[in-house]
Amino acid sequence: MTKKKPLGAGLSRDERMLIVVSEIIQELLKAHHEGKDVNLNRLKTRLASNYGLPSAPRLVDIIAAVPHEAKPILLPKLKAKPIRTASGIAVVAVMCKPHRCPHINMTGNICVYCPGGPDSDFEYSTQSYTGYEPTSMRAIRARYDPFLQTRHRVEQLKQLGHSVDKVEFIVM
């Protein structure tokens, strides 16, 4: 028994990924016109395996490839976690640069109940955070620059199909 060759075997990984994204969009448009529901994850996995790809395309790549005339149809279906901006307001959390706990200055001891801070085992995380929360990781990547944190988060929400006309800031 011979192993079945994947479609597009002579093409590069990027070319096969582009074909898979294109076919996903075509299937979604076809399903919309026929009034059918499509399991997007199953569709992505099936097409990626047909083309011998190690992973399915990211949602951001699919949204970026949607033709302009099809965006009103497909974006609401492709939007990741639509509840995030259901009220019309995108929430962006920005984290301040870590400072030493004032309790250390007064007593010389660290607080047991709150992790984080420059003196903690969690390296350069803000007080009361471990550094593994999504906002903490974004802040560390941006070196706690509030402008960069905001810009990257707004771009990320926009790429995921959310409206960023109104933004609520949470300063942590």
Predicted confidence (pLDDT) per residue in 120-154, tens digit = 666 677 777 777 889 988 998 999 999 999 999 99
Structure confidence at residue 42 (pLDDT)? 94
Please indicate, yes or no, whether residues 71 and 98 belong to a single structural domain of this protein.
Answer: no
Please indicate, yes or no, whether residues 92 and 21 belong to a single structural domain of this protein.
Answer: no
Please indicate, yes or no, whether residues 71 and 124 belong to a single structural domain of this protein.
Answer: no
Please indicate, yes or no, whether residues 153 and 86 belong to a single structural domain of this protein.
Answer: yes
Q: Which of 78, 102, 128 is the last residue of a domain?
A: 78
Cα 139 from Cα 126, distance rounded (Å): 9
Reduced 3-state DSSP string for 4-34: CCCCCCCCCHHHHHHHHHHHHHHHHHHHHHH
Residue linked to tokens 């399903």: 31
Quote the domain boundaries for residue 137.
Answer: 82-171
Q: Which of 61, 78, 95 is the last residue of a domain?
A: 78
Structure confidence at residue 116 (pLDDT)? 62
Instruction: Fill in the amino acid letter for 65.
Output: A
The answer to whether residue 133 is domain-embedded is: yes
Residue 28: how many other CB atoms lie within 10 Å: 20
Instruction: Fill in the amino acid letter for 22.
Output: S
How many domains does the structure of the chain reveal? 2
Global pTM?
0.70
Write out the DSSP string of 37-75: ---HHHHHHHHHHHTT-SSPPPHHHHHHHS-GGGHHHHH
- Crossing angle for the helix pair 71-78 and 13-34, nearest 10 degrees? 100
Please indicate, yes or no, whether residues 97 and 70 belong to a single structural domain of this protein.
Answer: no
Q: Given a cut of 90, is residue 172 above it in pLDDT? A: no
Structure confidence at residue 22 (pLDDT)? 94
Q: Give tens-digit pLDDT for 52-66.
A: 999 999 999 999 999
Query: Above pLDDT 90, what percent of the chain?
Result: 49
Please indicate, yes or no, whether residues 64 and 22 belong to a single structural domain of this protein.
Answer: yes
